[in-house]
Amino acid sequence: MAVPKKKTSHQKQHQRRAHWKAEAQEIGTCANCAAPKRSHTACGGCGYYRGRPARLKDAVI
């Protein structure tokens, strides 16, 4: 296994991690109620996902 010859300095460590940051979440709109919602998740307001009810308590059978 390759072993580092020198201990990484705090400055180098911080320089490397300076580009490591969280990105903003994708926000879309619900096709059913047009409310803003996160992509690839059921709508928080109406519970619909891709035009169909996705939450059991909202399902009308």
Binding site for Zn ion (CB under 5 A): 30, 32-33, 43, 45-46
Judged by beta carbon, residue 15 or residue 45, the one nearer Zn ion is: 45
CB atoms within 10 A of CB 39: 9
Asked whether the CA dihedral 46, 48, 49, 54 is positive or negative, the reply is positive
CB atoms within 10 A of CB 53: 17
Q: Least separation, in Å, of the C-beta of 25 and Zn ion?
A: 17
Q: Least separation, in Å, of the C-beta of 37 and Zn ion?
A: 6
Judged by beta carbon, residue 32 or residue 54, the one nearer Zn ion is: 32
